[in-house]
Amino acid sequence: FFWSLFMFRGSMVALVTPMREDGSVDEDSLRALVDWHVEQGTDAIVAVGTTGESATLDEAEHCQVIGQVVEYSGGRVPVIAGTGANSTSEAIRLTRCAKDNGADACLLVTPYYNKPTQHGLYLHFKAVAEAVDVPQILYNVPGRTACDMQPETIGRLAGIPNIIGVKEATGDLQRVPVIRKLCGDGFAIFSGDDATARELVLQGGQGVISVTANVAPAAMRRMIAAALAGDRQASEAIDAELAGLHRDLFLEANPIPVKWALSEMGRIPRGIRLPLTWFSEQYRDALRQSMAQAGIN
């Protein structure tokens, strides 16, 4: 699976799942978003992650959206499927479904709510990796899951052949060299935190799985490409224009702000599922200003 390190790099969008106002999935908008990301140069599409409202799609819908994104992308861009769950058996089912639907890799969040031990995390990811022969990326986002996978656990898991990388969403850049030392150069490290993504890549990471890329795909791709090339000055200049988005797309829980922004851009309808709600009016002017700063109309 060493090839995977080169297949999955750059600016990878954590794609929203477009919904109509009644909460049903809008397949036409989903197809249009995939086409737009291909046109804008997005390096890979992540379907049904946190930003794709994985927590409120049922298992059948989850598999359906993965299959649609693979179909709509038509091999033009790699597709990574979010298939994590807090039940190991469910994570295996979702990962198997993603493989059967043609996903190029799977992204598996640490089990949330039930607070496993580090050894439990190891056994969970090992079980999924052994059950489904597809490249798998670990996903550590303790702000969402109440579970923090330690670098040492990531190091243990890196020894499993089809576990090819980690999405680190802690924003703690001090972890990057520790993970790299424990996992070796053949293991991919992706940022899951837009605000620190540039620096993570400049420190040797392979890219970002990005919320900001939903609304500024071309700029995110240019910024990450410059960072991958080691061009600090160019990447900092582009990132300065995106800094407001990195901040304001989290004024309420993701994906509330980013769905509103895409709706303002005319790319998706005004749909989101409870318990998430439509973006509060009090924050809209701030996000509008950040969009304008990034050159988004």
- Can you read off the two tokens belonging to residue 146? 């109440």
Structure-token match 């509060």, residue found? 280
**By the 8 A CB rule, do 43 and 68 touch?**
no
Name the catalytic one among 72, 99, 122, 167. 167
**113 noted as active-site residue:** no
Strand boundaries in the chain, DSSP class E: 10-14, 44-47, 79-82, 105-109, 136-140, 163-168, 188-191, 207-210
CB-based burial, 211-229: b 16+ in 10 Å, e otherwise:
bbbbbbbebbbbbbbbbbe
- Can you read off the two tokens belonging to residue 265? 């851009």
Count CA atoms within 13 Å of residue 41 on its CB side: 10
- Which residue, among 181, 125, 205, 192, has the nearest Cα to 157 in the 3D structure? 125
**By the 8 A CB rule, do 70 and 101 touch?**
yes
Burial of 158 (0-12, 13-18, 19+ CB in 10 A): buried
Name the catalytic one among 72, 99, 122, 139. 139
158: left (phi over 0), alpha (psi -120 to 50) or beta: alpha
Q: Catalytic residue numbers?
A: 139, 167
